[in-house]
Amino acid sequence: MIEFVQDNEERIFQALDQDVGKHPVEAYRDEVGVVAKSAKLSLSCVEKWMAPRKGDLPLVFFPASAQVMPEPFGVVLIMGSWNFPISLSLDPLIAAISAGNAVVLKPSELSPTCSSFLAENIPKYLDSKSIKVIEGGIDVCEQLLQQKWDKIFFTGSQRVGRIVMTAAAQHLTPVTLELGGKSPAIMDSSSNPTNMKVIAKRIVGAKWGSCSGQACIAIDYLLVEERFASDLIDLLAKTIKQFYGQNPIESKSLCKIVNKNNFKRLLDLLKDPLVEASVVYGGSVDEEKMYIEPTILLNPPLDSQIMTEEIFGPLLPIITLDDIYESIDFISSRPKPLAIYAFTRDEKFKKQILSRTSSGSVTFNDTLLQFLCDSLPFGGVGQSGFGRYHGKYSFDTFSHEKAILQRGFFPELEPRYPPWNSFKLHFIKLAYAFNYIGLILLLLGLKK
């Protein structure tokens, strides 16, 4: 796998450029680099991960030994996504392999160049008897989902997530669903102007700097107090120009929209007149090249589609509040997102965000980096999915933890067996309560 990405780096860059207009820097950072890093980590840790873990045993079970041993599930199905078509296919694949499974990988058909690149080249580098790549669209997915798998790992939308889990239910197949949601960013007033510049860069980077907003952990919308809104918008506008120049659509650093369906979907979000009226920056599109300019909206109606569905594109609504603490109720009254980003130095506020909202993850004062931290589980909760991976969690997600207890034939405890009487009952009660002194007294006839 490591050789695969190293040998084919240029070709992967080209495929990603073709499918989503991804610049090599993004392509390395979010795709090639992620896969290489993941493979290297697994390589160095897999022996440790595969080793059985000892379990503590209460004295009453002596002599015995208890262990938990991970074993592969068997034959697993991985369904990749189109926005990070290389890493979201190969990272789970690395996990499945580390855990010792046979795998079918079904890359997304919405990123066809990457899909056929994987189908053609994976067999050249990996064991093609145990690891298969199957290309195709909905009909192929349907056929695959009818089979009995020992595990299904799905990255994608909630709608398809339901279909996958329903199909899995027929065979009692366990699933991991990496879905999405509306990941909010909160910004309070506790930052000085220098920090504000950094915050603006991080927000812009997290919205448009990762597949042009088409990422599960991209900032979906922003919450800020009314009095800071216009300064923030100015700062964001300046930062966007800094990153993408005067004409972002010409910038090679911005991804395009993946296909016509999504392009239309995003334009439709802007069609609502009240939403259209709330656009304060950007808004222009290039239908032929399928680019949408980084666009900022101020207070579109909360019941409009742009505020009720995951945007997954380069449109950033800013919702203003009287008091930033209101953001907590705002977020917790909505479906649980995959990520929450909070820019604040108020320790009390941080604690409230942690305890009163629920999300896959929370990142303070930055964006997206939780994805790179291998010791943090990456996954959703509620509508944003369940199950997790990255680091050792990847190995675990494709393993069954088998409990193993070994006993000997000596000593033998008579009270375990019928016919029952009150002595035996008393004995067992004490044993279960780990009341060793009581047991000794009972055996010595000193306890009644």
Partner 1 sequence: MSTEEENQTVFDVAAASMLTKELRDVFASGKTRSYEWRISQLKSMIKMCEEHEEDIVDALHQDLSKPKLESIVYEITMLKNSCALAIKELKQWMMPEKAKTSLLTFPSSAEIVSEPLGVVLIISAWNYPFLLSLDPLVGAISAGNTMVLKPSELSPATSSLLAKLLPEYLDVSSIKVVEGAVSETSALLEQKWDKIFYTGNGRVGRIVMAAAAKHLTPVVLELGGKSPVVVDSGIDLQIATRRIIIGKWGCNNGQACISPDYIITTKDCADKLVDSLKKELETFYGENPLESKDISRIVSSNHFSRLTKLLDDDKVSGKIVYGGERDEANLKIAPTILLDVPRDSLIMKEEIFGPLLPILIVSKIEDSWDVINSGTKPLAAYLFTNNKKLKEQFVMSVSAGGVTINDIAMHLAIHTLPFGGVGESGTGSYHGIFSFDAFSHKKAVLYRSFMGDAALRYPPYTLGKIRLMKALMTSNLWTILRALLGLS
Instruction: Just list the catalytic residues.
Output: 178, 216
Contact between 62 and partner 1 (CB under 8 A)? no
Contact between 56 and partner 1 (CB under 8 A)? yes
Among the listed residues 190, 212, 176, 217, the one whose alpha carbon sits nearest the alpha carbon of residue 285: 212
Query: Contacting partner 1 (CB under 8 A), which of 43, 51, 57, 440?
Result: 57
In the range 178-197, which residues lie near partner 1 by CB under 8 A?
179, 191, 194-195
**158 vs 320, which CB is nearer to partner 1?**
158
**265 vs 424, which CB is nearer to partner 1?**
424
Q: What is the 3-state secondary structure (H, E, C) of 282-314?
A: CCCEECCCCEECCEEEECCCCCCHHHHCCCCCC
Among the listed residues 85, 7, 99, the one whose alpha carbon sits nearest the alpha carbon of residue 49: 99
Contact between 158 and partner 1 (CB under 8 A)? yes
Q: Which residue has the tokens 């950033």?
A: 316
Query: Contacting partner 1 (CB under 8 A), which of 64, 274, 302, 440?
Result: 64
Contact between 205 and partner 1 (CB under 8 A)? yes
> Please, what is the minimum distance in Å from the beta carbon of residue 91 to partner 1?
14
CA distances (Å), origin 241, targets 230, 256, 282, 301, 342: 17, 17, 11, 27, 24
**221 vs 371, which CB is nearer to partner 1?**
371
> Please, what is the minimum distance in Å from the beta carbon of residue 67 to partner 1?
8
> Please, what is the minimum distance in Å from the beta carbon of residue 273 to partner 1?
32
Residues in the chain: 448
In the range 371-390, which residues lie near partner 1 by CB under 8 A?
372-378, 381-383, 385-388
CB–CB of 187/366 below 8 Å?
Answer: no
Stretch touching partner 1 by CB under 8 A, among 220-228, 267-275, 314-322, 352-360: 352-360
> Please, what is the minimum distance in Å from the beta carbon of residue 290 to partner 1?
19
Contact between 75 and partner 1 (CB under 8 A)? no
> Please, what is the minimum distance in Å from the beta carbon of residue 228 to partner 1?
17
Integer Cα distance of 177 and 162 in angstroms: 9
CB count in 10 Å sphere of residue 120: 11
Query: Contacting partner 1 (CB under 8 A), which of 84, 228, 244, 389?
Result: 244
Give burial (CB, 10 Å; 0-12/13-18/19+) of 419.
exposed
CB–CB of 322/257 below 8 Å?
Answer: no
Contact between 351 and partner 1 (CB under 8 A)? no
Stretch touching partner 1 by CB under 8 A, among 113-121, 157-165, 267-275, 305-313: 157-165
Beta bridge partners of 273: none
Stretch touching partner 1 by CB under 8 A, among 56-64, 83-91, 118-126, 261-269: 56-64
Q: Which helix (H) or strand (E) holds 327?
A: helix 326-332
**237 vs 354, which CB is nearer to partner 1?**
354
3-class DSSP assignment, residue 93: helix
Contact between 310 and partner 1 (CB under 8 A)? no
Site string for partner 1, 396-435 (x = CB under 8 A): ----xxxxxxxxxx--x---xxxxx---xx--xx--xx--
> Please, what is the minimum distance in Å from the beta carbon of residue 57 to partner 1?
6
In the range 355-374, which residues lie near partner 1 by CB under 8 A?
355-356, 358-366, 369-370, 372-374
**122 vs 200, which CB is nearer to partner 1?**
200
Q: Which segments within 329-438 are labelled E, that is strand?
A: 339-343, 361-364, 385-386, 399-407
Stretch touching partner 1 by CB under 8 A, among 103-111, 163-171, 257-265, 274-282: 163-171
Q: CA-based angle 126:129:135, to the nearest 5?
A: 75
CA torsion 9-96-394-2 (nearest 10°) is -20
CB–CB of 404/67 below 8 Å?
Answer: yes
Contact between 40 and partner 1 (CB under 8 A)? yes
